[in-house]
Amino acid sequence: MSVSRRLVLRGAGVCLSLPWLESVPAFGRDGASGKSAQPPQRFAVLFAGNGFHKDHWWAKGSGSSMELGKVLEPLAPYREQLTFVRGLYNEEALKGNIHSSMTGNLLSGAPLESGGGIRSGTSIDQVLARTIGQQTRVPSLVLGCEKANPSVHKNYSMLYSSHISWSSPTTPTPLEVYPALAFDRLFKEGGQQGDTSVLDAILTEATDLRRTVSGADRQKLDEYLNSVREVEQRIASAGKRGELQGWRPSLQEPNIPRPADGIPQDIGEHMRLMCDILVLAFQTDTTRVCTLKLNNDHSSLRFSNLGIDYMIHHLLSHQESDDWLRVNQFFTEQLAYICGRLATIREGEGTLLDNSLLMYCSSMLTG
């Protein structure tokens, strides 16, 4: 195996990108100058619909002395790396003054078409995908934890509430809500069967590579491959349990086969899987651009994992209650989890977190 030219591991129908390795010249040194090459920069957006508890969404100060409101407390370990931007004003979002009009142009600021039509603007993630995204196998990853809503509400399409990523002014970027399919897009090529393990398919090449890299890189490679295996196993387990969010058979025993690629019924498990897939995508440099929509604006999700399943998310957002605060914190915990994962992955002189810009936002303050 030529390490200097091998940036991916290939097997039967599988293409698995490598994490940053010092032993691989294409990663560790700039061939022209002989200087250490810099790891690439990544960009991700995490979106939480319906805003936050207005009394507890705040930050004061900066650096290690930054004070955080209760919604943001899960981010306390990373306060020295946080920047809060105040005073942003999206004039077009207020023209409709409803959820759809405040979400559909969140990442573009473009005017929205009402009357059930669809017209927004190309979102910033897709602008980046057309530039830095062309340097990776997957230009951008668009993930979600709630399916799109095709209905119309108060003269605006609910597709605006369901999508923050837009490939063009008239095309919301397709949203992947199935963890298994998101995983397949990163690591599996068209010829591989869905029940074939990524790691099994590239085992020979991985073993060869392990013999040629440094001790530190062997440890990093082992940690990376273990994380891929762990996500594979969790996805398989979620599907086998038959816990499909929003899907219930009308018969005691369904008379058609259960879909192989299900959505975990537990929203906490669903979100955590998507967070791990985002981290893997960045860690392998399979993509450098990702959006993760934790829920829709005007969301219908319930949170039985928190013991809060008596009311859908949107209705809960109209109550400044302790349960609303707890759901807000649960969302922020997903960002904190991603930060924690990225912070443990070494890249050159820093970490994957050092080389990532993460944006956390909603389309409104609350409601």
Provide the residue ranges of all domains of the chain, joining segments of one domain with +.
Answer: 1-38+193-262, 42-177+286-367
Q: What is the DSSP string of 220-247?
A: HHHHHHHHHHHHHHHHHHHHHTT-BTT-
pLDDT-based confidence at 35, cuts 50/70/90? very low
* Confidence class for position 129, pLDDT limits 50, 70, 90: very high
Element (H, E) at 361: strand 356-361
How many whole angstroms from its chain centre is CA 261? 18
CA distance linking residue 278 with residue 287, whole number of Å: 9
Beta-sheet pairing, 289-293 with 171-172: unpaired
What pLDDT was estimated at residue 347? 83
Task: Assess contact for 15 and 228: CB atoms under 8 A.
Answer: no
Express each pLDDT in 72-120 by its tens digit: 999 999 999 999 988 888 888 888 767 777 889 999 999 999 887 889 9
Mean pLDDT of 132-139: 87
Choose among 344, 366, 287, 284: nearest CA to 49: 366
Q: In terms of pLDDT, which residue wins out, 179 or 152?
A: 179
* Phi then psi dihedrals of residue 53, to 5 deg: -65, 110
pLDDT value, residue 331: 98
Q: What is the pLDDT of residues 200-219, one digit of tens each?
A: 666 667 777 778 888 778 88
What's the whole-model pTM score? 0.79
In which band, very low, low, confident or very high, does the pLDDT at 25 lie, cut at 50, 70 and 90? low
